[in-house]
Structures are given as C-alpha cells and as structure tokens.
Amino acid sequence: MKGTRDVALAQSVRERAPRRGRLDHVQREMRRARAPLFFILPAIIFAAIFLYYPALSGLYHAFFDWDGVSQADFIGLNNFQEMMSDPSVRTAFTNVGKLTGVGVVIVLTVPLMAARLINGIPNLRVQYIFRVGFVIPLVVPNVVLLLVWGFFYDPTDGMLNRLLTDMHQSGLTQAWLGDPAIALYGVMVSSSPSPLPGFSVGFPWVDAFALLIYTAGLQSIPGEILEAAAMDGAGARQRFLRIELPLILGQVRLLVVLVIINGLQNFTQILILTQGGPGEATTVPGLYLYQQAFISQRMGYASSIALVLFAIIVVLTAINVKFIRPATEFEGAAA
C-alpha cells in the first residue's frame, strides 16, 4: 500500500515539477522585470487615461445623444441611422475613399521608384546626397507647405494660373480649390496622405518617410541574390519585379497600412487648405466629425462617425495584413 502511495506521490511530483519550474520561472521573470515595469508604468497610466479611456468613451457614447457635457441619453442605433441618411457623411466618406485610394497608389509607386533609383546609384556618397535631399523637406512644417500650395493655387494671383497664362494657355486656368468639380483633385495633388501620421505629401509625391522605409528594405536584400539573378540573365526590370518587390512586401504592407490609417483619420490638411469646401466638396469624415463634436456640440453623433471610421480602418488593415505577405524577410528588414 505504502509502495503504491510512494509511486503515486513520485508520479505527482514528476508531473508537478515542470509546472512548478514554469511558475518559478515566471516569478523570476516578474521579479527581474519589476524595475522595467515600474518605469513603464507612468506611460501605461497616461496611455490608459489619454488614449484608451477616450477611445472607449467614444465607443460607448456612439450610442448616446450627448453634447459632451450634459447627461448622455441612450438612443440605441439612432446615430447610425442618422448617418445613413446624412448626405454630408456620404460625401465625406466618398471623398476620403478617393483621397486614401490615391494615397495608396502614390505610396506604392512614386517613393518606391525613387528608392529603387537611388539604391541603384553605384556611388554610396551620391546615394546619401539624394536621400538627404528628399528627407530635408520633412523639417518644413506641413502647415507652411500647405499655405504655399494655397498661394500656388490662387485663381487670380497663383503661380499655376500665371504659368498657364504665360504659356498662352489661359483657357486651362482654373479656380483650383474653388471649383467643386476639381477641388478634390487639387487636394490630391497638394496633400495626398503620407504614411507619417499628421503629414501629407504634395506633388511630386516622393514621401521621405516611405522613401526611407523602402530604401531600408531594398538595402536589406542580400547582394548575392541579386548578383545570382543577374548572372542568370535577369534584367533590371525582372530583378525588380521578381526579386526585389516580393522581398520588400513587408515594407509595402507597413506603408499601405499607415497610409490607410492616416488617410482615413487625418483632416488637418483639409482644414488648413479648404475647410472642406467649396460647400462640402473636399469634406472628409475626420473634419465632419470634428465639426459635429466641437461646433455642433454633438459628441454622440461624432462618436458614431468615429466608430464607423475605426471599423473601416480595422477591416482594411486586416485585409492588408492577411493578403500582403513578404516572400521572405531578411534580418534587418522592417515589418
């Protein structure tokens, strides 16, 4: 009997030992991480107060009639029903769809081409000069660039119309931001969404942030692969399309996600450039929800727009993450 018990006990100890060991390990890790946890705690607290709480509050208040101050009244899905029949919301989402779509196309092409061209320069010093040349404009505040674009577009005195007039093309002059038929295109040219939060990029759309990310990706591809491909007779175009591009899809995915998020959320560029006008020709959801929240004091309705925007961003990001996968990721490659 005793022997049986001993065997059972020994078995139990054997079973518990690894569990106990794991527990000890976790405790040891926790003890070791106490100091870092302590130091990171303020950041967690502030993030909870200033990021997570407002986000959750927005989610909650999307179902309320609330002015931001008074008692909130639960109204179920009324805000969402109102959104469905609100022509301004429809216009705003259509506009942002166009702007973000163009932003994605731009980030997938122009900075990538620029990065590829720079990467192809044999002289590293010249490569560096080009990179710096494209990055320097980042130090100019975005507001300044937008104001310059505003002057550039001025229908009477703007450089663009003057240039056209000087070229004897007066018939082509336009009220670039004043004509509702073309104002959104004017915005696309001057302030397409950048992957860098809060920034936009104007013509020629070589976004410095995207350029750096692409450059990092291209430089992380081992030279032997490209050399082997060249020896196998692959031309520059083939090398780019069949080797380089598949290998930097991680960077592509990151930039597309960032452009989608920034494009859908951001509105400051529109506010500075056109205030959403003429009428609502360049209005975007971010601007509309800002006006609803802070001018009309309709925080509940604004929250419901934000919730829909959030859902769209999540879905698009998930699709992007699921379907855009790099062929291989090399050490040092981002994302």
Residues that bind another protein (CB under 8 A): 68-70, 87-88, 143, 146-147, 150-151, 154-157, 174-180, 183, 272-282, 291, 294-298
87-119 and 124-135 helices cross at what angle (nearest 10)?
160
Nearer to another protein, 180 or 320 (CB): 180
Please report how close the Cβ of residue 177 comes to another protein at its closest, in angstroms. 4
Q: Tell me the closest approach of the beta carbon of residue 279 to another protein, in angstroms.
A: 3
Query: How many other C-beta atoms lie within 10 A of the C-beta of residue 315?
Result: 10
Closest approach of Cβ 280 to another protein, in Å?
A: 6
Q: How many residues does the chain have?
A: 335
Torsion-angle region of residue 68: left (phi > 0), alpha (psi -120 to 50) or beta?
left
83 or 175: CB nearest another protein: 175
Report whether 214 contacts 112 (CB < 8 A): yes
- Alpha-carbon distance of 149 to 239, in angstroms, equals 38
Q: How many CB atoms sit inside 10 A of residue 47's CB? A: 12
Measured from the CB of residue 272, what is the shortest distance to another protein in angstroms?
5
Q: Which is nearer to another protein, 114 or 302 (CB)?
A: 302
Nearer to another protein, 143 or 327 (CB): 143
- At residue 57, the 3 state secondary structure works out as helix
What does the block give as tokens for 30?
């926790």
From CA 207, how far away is CA 37, in angstroms rounded?
37
Our CB check for another protein shows the closer of 173 and 220 to be 173
Least separation in angstroms between CB 230 and another protein: 51
